[in-house]
Amino acid sequence: MEISVLKAELEKLHPASLGWALSCCRRDTTEAEEVLQTVYLKILQGKAVYRGESKLQTWLFAVIRKTAISERRKQWLRTLIPLSGSTSNDNRKLESEFERSEMHERFQQALAQLPEECTRRDEHRRRNILIRCDGAGATHTLLDWIHAQGMQFSVRFTLAGPDIVELATALPTTVWTPALADPAGVARVAEATDAGWVAGWPPGSRLIVRREHPSRAARHLAKYRQMSICDVDGMRYTAILTNRPDLPADMLELDHRRHARVEDRIKDGKDTGLDHLPYADLATNRIWLAIVALAQTLLAHTTRLALTGRWRTASPKTLRHRLFTCAGRLVHTGRRTRLDLAGTWPWTTVIINALNRLTALPHPG
C-alpha cells in the first residue's frame, strides 16, 4: 500500500483507533495519545508493515494493543530500575522482601544439596553455578540476587512486538551466525550489543537473540491466528538474558535450549496425574501431588537402571501402554514362583531384559 493511501486510511480510522487505544490504556487519555502517536510513527517509518493478510483496521488495532502492552511493560521496568539519584534503601527493601519469599527458600534448599566445591566462591567471589529459568525468572529482584550471590543466570527474555521490529532493523546482517544443533539449518543467532537493551539489569548482562522460520505446525496455526503482529519477513524472534562472559552467542543459546528438558518433565508429570486435582480440599490434593512426585521418581529410576536406548527417554504413557500393561501369569511350581509373560507381546524381550538388569544390581544395603 502506498504511503499516501495509507495516511488517508489512518486518518479515517483515527476516531476508532483512539477509542481502542483508550481501552488498551485503562481510559488514560494522555497514555492513549502517546501510544497512538508511537504506532503512527512505527507505521510511517516502516517498522510495522501492513501485508494485507487481514483488514487494515484489524491489523491496526492489533499493533495498538501490542504497543500499549510494550509501553506499560517499560513503565513497570522503570519503577524497578534504580535511578542515579536514589538511595539504596529501595534496593535493600526489595532484597529483604525476596529473602522472605518462598522462592528464596527453595533456592536455599537447592543450593544446600550441592557439593561444597560448587558452592565455594573463587578468588573473584564467583561460584560455579548456573541458574536457568523461563520467562517468569526474568525479574530484577531475582537476577540481582543471583548476581550478588556470585552465580550465573540464563533466562528467557520476553520480546514485545515493537521490540522485535527494532531488533530486526537494528542488527546488521553480518552479526547473525548459524545456530548450533539446528536440524533445519535455517536458525540464526546474534548478540544485541547495544547497552540500551540491558540497561538496569545486573552488570555484565548480555542479550542473545535467535530468529528462525516457524515450524510447519506453527505455520498451520498462523492461518487461524497471527503468531506476531510485528513479525519481520515471517521470522520468529526469541531472546535470552545471561551474565555469562565466557562463551560466544551461539554456544550460550544452545546451552539455554537444553533447559527444555524441564518442559519434558512437566509433560511427564501431566501423564502421571499432575494435570488434574481429583479432590475438593487442598490438604488431600497435596497428598495426591506427593504421590505423583513419587511416581515420577520411580519412573526416572526405572528407566535409568533397567532400560536402554530409546526406552530411557520414553514417556510415562508409552511405558504404561507397552511395558506395564503386558499380560502375565504367576505360576507356582516346585516351591518356586515364576512369572510367565505373553509370548506374543511385541515388547516382552524388553521387559525380560529390564528385569534381568534390576536383578543383577547390587543390594543397596
Query: Residue 59 is placed in which grid cell?
Result: 491489523
pLDDT reported for residue 298 = 92
What is the percentage of the chain residues whose pLDDT exceeds 90?
Answer: 19
| CA-based nearest residue to 9, from 60, 49, 84 | 60
Q: Identify which has the larger pLDDT, 51 or 357.
A: 357
CA 103 to chain centre: 18
pLDDT in tens, 249-289: 999 999 998 888 888 888 888 888 888 888 888 889 999 99
The per-residue DSSP string of 270-336 comes to: IIIIIT---SSSHHHHHHHHHHHHHHHHHHHHHHHHH--GGGGG--HHHHIIIIIT--EEEEEETTE
Q: What structural domains and CATH numbers belong to the chain?
A: 3-80 (1.10.1740), 89-258 (no CATH), 276-360 (no CATH)
Q: Cell 502506498 identifies what position? A: 2
Contact present, 211 and 187 (Cβ < 8 Å): yes
What does the pLDDT average to over 318-329?
91
Query: Residue 236 is placed in which grid cell?
Result: 520468529
pLDDT in tens, 3-25: 778 788 888 888 888 888 888 88
3-state secondary structure string across 84-133: CCCCCHHHHHHHHHHHCCHHHHHHHHHHHCCCHHHHCCCCCCCCCCEEEE
* pLDDT for residue 77 is more than 70: no
Distance in angstroms (rounded) separating the CA atoms of residues 253 and 191: 10
Q: How far is CA 297 from CA 59, 103, 106, 349, in A?
A: 48, 23, 19, 24
Amino acid at 123: E
pLDDT reported for residue 48 = 78
What does the pLDDT average to over 158-169?
71
Please state, rounded to an integer, the average pLDDT across all residues of the chain.
Answer: 81
Contact present, 60 and 13 (Cβ < 8 Å): yes
What stretch of H or E contains 64? helix 56-80
Number of neighbours of residue 282 by Cβ within 10 angstroms: 8
Q: Three-state DSSP class for 260?
A: helix
The per-residue DSSP string of 144-185 comes to: HHHHHTT-EEEEEE---HHHHHHHHHHS-GGG-EEPTT-SSS
* 197 φ/ψ sector (left φ>0, alpha ψ -120 to 50, else beta): alpha
What does the pLDDT average to over 160-170?
70
